[in-house]
Amino acid sequence: MTKGELILRAEQFTADSPGNYISAEVATAPEYAGMQLYGPPIFAFGRPDDALYTKYKSPQVIGSHFLAPSAWLPTVKTVISFFLPYTERIKAANARDYLWPADEWLHGRYEGQLFVRDLSIHIQSTLSDAGYASISPAFDPRYRVADTKLTSNWSERHIAFACGLGTFGLSKGLITEKGTCGRFGSILTELDLPKDSRRYQDTYEYCTMCGACIPHCPARAISPAEGKAHQPCLDFLDQVREKSAPRYGCGKCQVNVPCESRIPLSR
């Protein structure tokens, strides 16, 4: 199985799967029934022995609780990272104001994450049918979120950075060629596929530090000097969860900014 074949099957599944569309049964309002969540996914393929995975164990990055790819799957040969970009409808809805997340965005965050699981399972099944073991750490029983809720033992954004999918921004979102608005997933597999090179050197290389995200944050959690402070962001998400459970999210820092749907122009 080639990278192209795997990507094509993922694209077809994303286009055709009912999970990528809000059903009438779960829609929070009739106008959301049938709403598409994601456009076609983009992929990057990395090495399981990348030196970054050792660096991620540093307290200044993730911490010692981070588990490298081989800890999840000892026979791993390829790390697959993917990004599912939200549709224009979801992005536009969340940019109407900067007070409270739009219902469309909350569907994208909650039902959208369920679809990340569906796509991960589909990719794993595709690899298994071809004779290659694989797992998705974020949906593995060993997956854990740290007590502080700030980090976990597997970070989709950091995996995407290592694989070459994009760099971080001031708001701590990851900027890909399709922007920041969307969800990430990853698969570890025994299938040995050609690795993509990172087209960047710096952690924040794609971010122009323009600060457009700062006034959009309802929690006032982003500053020009420090970037995003996680705790105010988490506190606001708790408020959203109390009001909209089981749905939650925000994403105001990701919409109507230069990195919403692309890599912004260099400074």
For residue 64, pLDDT beyond 90:
yes
Q: For residue range 196-234, list pLDDT tens digits in order.
A: 999 999 999 999 999 999 999 999 999 998 899 999 999
262 within a domain of the structure (yes/no) = no
| Domain hosting residue 190, numbered range | 3-254
133 within a domain of the structure (yes/no) = yes
Q: So what's the pLDDT on residue 266?
A: 57
For residue 267, pLDDT beyond 60:
no
Whole-angstrom distance, CA of residue 252 vs CA of residue 247: 16
Q: How far is CA 262 from CA 142, 179, 182, 259, in A?
A: 34, 4, 12, 5
Domain count, the chain: 1
For residue 180, pLDDT beyond 70:
yes
Residue 172 contacts residue 254 (beta carbons within 8 Å): no
Question: How many residues does this entry show for the chain?
Answer: 267
215 within a domain of the structure (yes/no) = yes
Residue 166 contacts residue 159 (beta carbons within 8 Å): no
In this prediction the pTM is 0.95
233 within a domain of the structure (yes/no) = yes
Q: Which tops the pLDDT comparison, 147 or 63?
A: 63
263 within a domain of the structure (yes/no) = no
* pLDDT average, residue stretch 117-122: 98
Q: So what's the pLDDT on residue 149?
A: 67
261 within a domain of the structure (yes/no) = no
